[in-house]
Homo-oligomer: A and B are copies of this chain.
């Protein structure tokens, strides 16, 4: 049975659902598959209306959704109201993306001569892959869970979704799924374009189900790798998009440390303790120059951390992972404690207290280079740019890298941009990596282990590309072509296309 807990008291509150049986997972996947053709054939305008209807249904249920999520996650109503706004916005944003139509990559090459002889008429566009499995994340009960980006982008593409509810917020998942299903029905679609399963085994069964054509996952390295292996070992392997997290580096260049060290300390403390450090984009390693300016920065950072109180973490598992991870860091050779948050603030439950550590340059190994989910930051001091380059060479790929640099840091920061371009998905300049905008230019992903798929993003307009596969039509008669590939577009069908090699606007 799946039980909902209260992180603030570390107690069970209610049983939400039974674990979904293998037979029931199979039935839901078959039902999702049956709902797929209508989802695609309804067309982009109708799917956009459905996405907006789903956004409206979430807004209608805002009070209950936020209250339930707050009780299950302890993230607080301010954050959770913002996150629900983000989720509703994201659904509407993907409505815009599919109305725009460029995502279809519609391409027409008319028949004609080539150096190799005559070429047939060829027309290519992207089509939905079919039913998609989505795994909610513990740390975003809305924006990376049932009503999150994977769900929004897959539905926009025309793929039904079967979602595995995260154990950290089963009641929120249930309410969210009900809202999405109601939104689908209100827009004239089958409610079964969204369904929900519960339990670890159900997640494994879902990943192996023959109807499922792709998997979106946000979570831990261990969980992601296990599911990725199931996806790859199927008789018919399917793509697995796992966002597994990372140790996100932040570099403070010397002039920036001198010019605004205290401001950076305040921003950095806010970023790594935000949401009790429970972000995959949390800065985990900060490289600060040796010398007085860096000393001031670190002292200010320590003061911020000492004054910070912490908060209840998402689940017993997350709390246990943070305890084990910080214990490993404290015991690691060359690692020392700079500051800890106020234990007086602790009010019971699965409490996480902020922790600031320093690692010697020769201690960049083992736990220092592994993600520790929660409010912990490791500071490393560097003497020279050469030493910094050597240290960064030991840090693994990540979702983000942040560079703090002022005018005097120009040469050094240029080299850092070049270095990180090969190692991360997003480079943040004079800022902090927590916070991922939902926009056209968003990239959320990076080389393994940040994500299992380095070519795609799980946030932003391009996230839809994961659920689409290209199909080409050779010499097909006009009457059988998809509307988007007709020579003359029907009324109401607009999109950019490439025709005979030339890109043309909508």
- Chain A residues near B (Cβ < 8 Å): 82, 85-86, 89, 96, 100, 102, 105, 107-109, 114-117, 119-120, 122-124, 127, 129-130, 213, 228-229, 232, 236-239, 397, 410, 413-414, 417, 421-422, 424-431, 437-443, 445, 447-449, 452-457, 460-462, 465-466, 468-477, 479-480, 496, 498, 500-501, 503, 505-506
Contacts and interface: CB of A to CB of B under 8 A. Distances in A.
5 contacts: A119-B437, A120-B437, A122-B442, A417-B473, A443-B471
Contact of A441 (B124, B424, B468): B124
Contact of A454 (B431, B469, B503): B469
8 interchain residue pairs of minimum CB distance: A443-B472, A122-B441, A124-B441, A107-B441, A109-B441, A426-B472, A429-B475, A109-B439
Contacts of A96: 501
Given A109-B437, A414-B480, A447-B236, A475 B116 contact: no
Nearest to A41: B418
Contacts of A472: 425-427, 441-443
B239 A417 contact: no
Given A124-B441, A425-B472, A457-B470, 5 more contacts: A82-B117, A124-B462, A129-B454, A414-B479, A429-B474
A462 B462 CA distance: 16
B102 A503 contact: yes
Contact of A443 (B124, B443, B457): B124
Nearest to A500: B440
Contacts of A228: 232, 237
A229 B498 CA distance: 36
Nearest to A400: B474
Contact of A455 (B100, B466, B473, B496): B466
A239 B445 CA distance: 14
Contacts of A213: 454
Contacts of A456: 470
A503 B497 CA distance: 11
A347 B233 CA distance: 44
Contacts of A417: 473, 476, 480
Contact of A470 (B119, B438, B462): B462
A109 to B, nearest CB: 4
A150 to B, nearest CB: 15
A97 to B, nearest CB: 9
A439 B476 contact: no
A480 B413 contact: yes
Nearest to A455: B469
A120 B475 contact: no
Contacts of A130: 422
A459 to B, nearest CB: 10
Contacts of A505: 503, 505
A413 B440 CA distance: 39
Contacts of A109: 437, 439-442
Nearest to A466: B455
Interface centre among A228, A237, A431 (most CB of B within 10 A): A237
Contacts of A119: 437, 439
A425 B105 CA distance: 15
Given A470-B457, A503-B102, A503-B496, A439 B236 contact: no
Contacts of A237: 228, 448, 452
A398 to B, nearest CB: 12
A427 B121 CA distance: 11
